[in-house]
């Protein structure tokens, strides 16, 4: 039985199992797409163990593939299954391909990794291309320092995928701030496939607000470290400013993150329990609500946090990480130069006074809205426009493929 007439399907692949960045970006896209297109269904392929904690709109669903995480030494290992990494990767590739084959999407959006994790979507890409599916590589505004990205993409042999597999490359940022492919020699044919959409704006969900907001009677600064797996340095630095005799003027709401090691989280909670001006939560999927109510934000500067800061028009102090990638540092540097946010570089010493001064100065910063950058937050609007245009080309492509196949009567 074929698809319902005029019904559309988009499949989104998000490889990451650790952290929240890829998952939250894909969720924002999926929710917007079904909201603006009544005949559309979106399915997300994700390795995230907490994807079920998030709310999705009707006609958005997900397939959870076994998690894989990258160790500090660069090797991969299974997130929770006690089986060989290669077996886990084989399972993932099989689930991805079978899902794509059955779901039969009009458009397939691959997030960040052109071939998927360790090449796990390459066969799926080839299969869907033969069917006439429109293939899109979605890239965030910053990938890594060009000196590291260029050899990485050469090692992974990415260029043939950009030339021969993908129909489009959508960059979810603006060129005025950064070009994530700078330093890579791209053929003209590939350059023509690139579209900058603008950043993906975020909105406060209509769902009931987080319970913690009921405890926040005074203005507060939101301190967030994303998933929290590597956020201990920032949180320790902020807490020391509140533990000093010269504490910052605003209260603080600290979101520790679902991937912070339990012993680290416990240590922070013990310290926070002794502070009158600081409260903490481990995780809340309604981060937009916490940010909307905040007077200012202190964060590490991942893509989603940056989008929320822009969308909620919040004064922000960004303290970017520099390992394993320079992504956050590059984003924060460019955004700081543009006047959108304030930036504090981790100098290795992390004195209490340095943080206390930075927190006090937050109130004097400009808001992002005071800086005019055309198309800055047009990402979702342009995403929907691009998708609707691509549906038309998919129809033509699939019709051509169908006409080129031998008829069923000739085969019988």
Residue where a domain terminates, one of 337, 355, 370: 370
Length of the chain counted residue by residue: 412
Residues 172, 232, single domain; the answer is: no
Tell whether 310 and 395 lie within a shared domain: no
Do 280 and 396 fall within a single domain?
Answer: no
- 301 belongs to a structural domain: yes
Together in a domain, 299 and 402: no
Asked if residue 386 and residue 365 are part of one domain, the reply reads no
Same domain? 82 vs 194 = yes
CATH number of residue 270's parent domain: 3.40.50.2000
Does the residue 261 lie in any domain?
yes
Helix (H, G, I), strand (E, B) or coil at 278: strand
Examine residue 3 and state whether it is found in any structural domain, yes or no.
no
- pLDDT at res. 81: 72
What proportions of the chain, in percent to the nearest 5, are helix, strand and coil? 40, 15, 40
Query: DSSP letters of 167-195?
Result: SEEEEES-TTT--TTTT----HHHHTTEE
In a domain, 295, yes or no: yes
**18 within some domain:** yes
Q: Do residue 69 and residue 146 come from a single domain?
A: yes
2 falls within a domain:
no
State the chain's maximal CA–CA distance in angstroms: 86
What's residue 5's pLDDT? Answer: 47
Cα 255 from Cα 282, distance rounded (Å)? 6
pLDDT number for residue 73: 57
In terms of domains, do 186 and 248 share one? no
Give the strand order in the sheet containing 168-172: 60-64, 40-46, 8-14, 107-111, 134-140, 168-172, 194-196
Does a structural domain hold residue 323? yes
Number of domains in the chain: 2
The counts of H helices and E strands in the chain are 14, 15
In-domain check, residue 74: yes
Helix (H) or strand (E) holding 397: helix 379-404
Kindly state whether residues 14 and 152 are assigned to the same domain: yes
Judgement on whether residues 142 and 253 belong to the same structural domain of the protein: no
pTM of the model: 0.92
- Per residue of the chain (412 residues), what is the pLDDT tens digit? 444 446 999 999 998 756 677 888 999 999 999 999 999 999 999 988 888 888 899 999 999 998 876 655 556 667 767 778 889 899 999 999 999 999 999 999 999 999 999 999 999 999 999 999 999 999 999 999 999 999 999 999 999 999 999 999 999 999 999 999 999 999 999 999 999 999 999 999 877 889 999 989 899 999 999 888 899 999 999 999 999 988 899 999 999 999 899 999 999 999 999 999 999 999 988 899 999 999 999 999 999 999 999 999 999 999 999 988 899 999 999 999 999 999 999 999 999 999 999 999 999 999 999 999 999 999 999 999 999 999 999 998 888 998 888 865 444 4
Parent domain of 181: 8-201+377-411
Q: Are residues 259 and 197 in the same domain?
A: no
pLDDT for the residue 409: 46
Whether 133 and 47 share a structural domain: yes
Alpha-carbon distance of 293 to 279, in angstroms, equals: 15
């Amino acid at each position: 039985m074929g698809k319902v007439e005029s019904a559309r399907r988009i499949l989104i692949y998000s490889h990451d199992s650790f952290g929240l960045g890829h998952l939250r970006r894909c969720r924002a896209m999926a929710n917007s797409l079904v909201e603006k297109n009544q005949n559309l269904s979106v399915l997300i392929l994700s390795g995230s163990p907490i994807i079920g904690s998030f709310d999705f709109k009707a006609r958005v669903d997900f397939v959870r593939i076994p998690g894989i995480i990258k160790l500090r030494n660069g090797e991969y290992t299974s997130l929770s299954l006690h089986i060989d990494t290669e077996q886990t990767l084989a399972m993932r590739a099989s689930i991805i391909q079978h899902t794509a084959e059955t779901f039969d999407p009009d458009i397939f959006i691959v997030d960040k990794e052109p071939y998927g994790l360790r090449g796990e979507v390459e066969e799926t890409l080839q299969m869907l291309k033969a069917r006439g599916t429109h293939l899109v590589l979605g890239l965030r505004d910053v990938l890594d320092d060009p000196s590291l990205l260029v050899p990485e993409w050469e090692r992974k042999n990415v260029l043939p995928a950009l030339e021969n597999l993908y129909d489009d490359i959508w960059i979810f940022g603006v060129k005025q701030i950064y070009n994530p492919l700078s330093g890579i020699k791209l053929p003209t044919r590939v350059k023509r496939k690139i579209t900058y959409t603008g950043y993906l704006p975020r909105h406060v969900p209509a769902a009931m607000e987080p319970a913690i907001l009921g405890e926040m009677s005074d203005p507060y600064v939101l301190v967030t470290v994303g998933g929290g797996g590597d956020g201990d340095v920032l949180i320790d630095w902020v807490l020391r400013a509140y533990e000093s005799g010269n504490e910052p003027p605003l209260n603080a709401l600290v979101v520790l993150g679902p991937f912070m090691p339990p012993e680290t989280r416990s240590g922070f909670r013990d310290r926070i329990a002794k502070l009158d001006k600081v409260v903490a939560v481990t995780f809340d999927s309604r981060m937009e609500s916490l940010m909307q109510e905040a007077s200012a934000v202190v964060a590490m500067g991942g893509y989603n946090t940056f989008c929320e800061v822009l969308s909620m028009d919040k004064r922000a102090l960004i303290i970017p990480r520099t390992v394993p990638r320079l992504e956050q540092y590059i984003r924060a540097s460019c955004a700081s130069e543009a006047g959108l946010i304030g930036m504090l570089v981790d100098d290795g010493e992390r004195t209490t006074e340095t943080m206390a001064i930075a927190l006090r100065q937050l109130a004097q910063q400009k808001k992002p809205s005071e800086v005019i950058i055309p198309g800055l937050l047009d990402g979702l609007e342009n995403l929907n426009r691009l998708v609707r245009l691509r549906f038309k080309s998919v129809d033509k492509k699939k019709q051509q493929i169908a006409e080129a196949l031998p008829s069923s009567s000739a085969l019988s």
